Amino acid sequence: MTTRGLLTALALTAGALASSGMASSGMAVAQQPDPTCDRGEFCAWAGTNYTGKVHRLDLETANPSECIPLPDKFVARSFVNRLTRDASVFQGATCSTEAEFTTYPGKGTYVPDAPFVVRAIQVWEP
C-alpha cells in the first residue's frame, strides 16, 4: 500500500468513527441516564448518575422546615432539586447537623454523585 493509500484509509476510518459516535480512542461514548424529575419535585435515586430506585417529593408531601427522612431505609446517591425552594440534604435520617449536610438551590439543581449518602431532606420556606 502506498503512503497516499494509507493516509486515505486512515482518514476514512477516522471519519467513520467520528460519525458513528465513537471517541477518538475507539471507545464508545457513555450515555448518561435521563434524570427525569418534573418541575416542582425533589427526586432522589439510590444509585449515582440517577440510576436505581427513585423517590419523589413535592410540596404536598414535604412540609417546609420539617425533617423528612427518606422512607424504608432508602439512601440516595444522586438527586435533583426542581422544587421552587431550597432544600438541604442530610447524611443522618434525623437531619442532625452533627453529620454531613448541604443546602442546594431550587429550580434545577442536578447532583449526579452526592458528596455523601443522603438519608433525609429539609425543604426551606421561601
Cα separation, 98 vs 47, whole angstroms: 24
Q: Enter the C-alpha cell of residue 36.
A: 427525569
Cβ atoms 120, 93 nearer than 8 A: yes
Class of 41-123 in CATH: mainly beta
Q: What is the pLDDT of residue 35?
A: 78
Structural domain spans, the chain = 1-31, 41-123
CA atoms within 13 A on the CB side of 28: 3
Of the candidates 53, 43, 58, 55, the one whose C-alpha atom is nearest the C-alpha of residue 111 is 43
Cα separation, 56 vs 40, whole angstroms: 10
Q: What is the pLDDT of residue 32?
A: 55
Q: Which residues of the chain have pLDDT under 70?
A: 1-34
